[in-house]
Amino acid sequence: MAIKVLVVDDEADTLHLLEVKLKKAGYDVLTAATGDEGIEKSHQEVPDVVVLDLLMPGINGLEVCQKVKAGMETPPLIIMLSAKREVESISAAFAAGVDDYMTKPFSPHSLTERVRILLIKNGRYPQQTSSAD
């Protein structure tokens, strides 16, 4: 069973870069360019992880996080991306329900590793089966 990652970001370049890198890492990737689209896709597709930009026009990442997690039996893990480095912004994100927070600029490789580690820590990473000879 493939792991689904939804990337929600209003910057087209970031959205494309993350889509390519996460697909290369073996994830099924969905994208959304607005918070509202992200909420809709998260409830339709039920991703395992949402990579979510904090600052977007209209509904911001904090509101998206709360709406994505509301009413879901097993809500997705959420990694927040933001240029904001202040303690208040980071605290607000965790209070809204994010599971991890990365500041921009970020390394796409670091992000794919954070997705993998978050899945492992939460018992959602597929078990590797080893072949015994």
Mean pLDDT by groups of 10 residues along the chain of 133 residues: 92 95 96 96 96 94 94 92 94 96 93 96 74 46
SS3 track for the chain: CCCEEEEECCCHHHHHHHHHHHHHCCCEEEEECCHHHHHHHHHHHCCCEEEEECCCCCCCHHHHHHHHHCCCCCCCEEEEEECCCCHHHHHHHHHHCCCEEEECCCCHHHHHHHHHHHHHHCCCCCCCCCCCC
Residue 46 resides in a domain: yes
- Domain membership flag for residue 133: no
Q: Judge whether 9 lies within some domain.
A: yes
| In-domain check, residue 127 | no
For residue 107, what are the CA distances in angstroms to 14, 42, 55, 96? 11, 25, 19, 24
Domain count, the chain: 1
Structural domain contains residue 72: yes
User: Does residue 130 lie in a domain region?
Assistant: no
Q: What is the model's pLDDT at position 81?
A: 96
CA distances from 40 to 17, 26, 104, 130 (A): 22, 24, 25, 38
> What CATH number does the domain containing 20 carry?
3.40.50.2300
Report pLDDT for 131. 47
What pLDDT does 111 receive?
96
pLDDT at residue 72, as a whole number: 86
What interhelical angle do 61-69 and 87-96 show, nearest 10?
Answer: 20
What's the confidence (pLDDT) of residue 60? Answer: 94
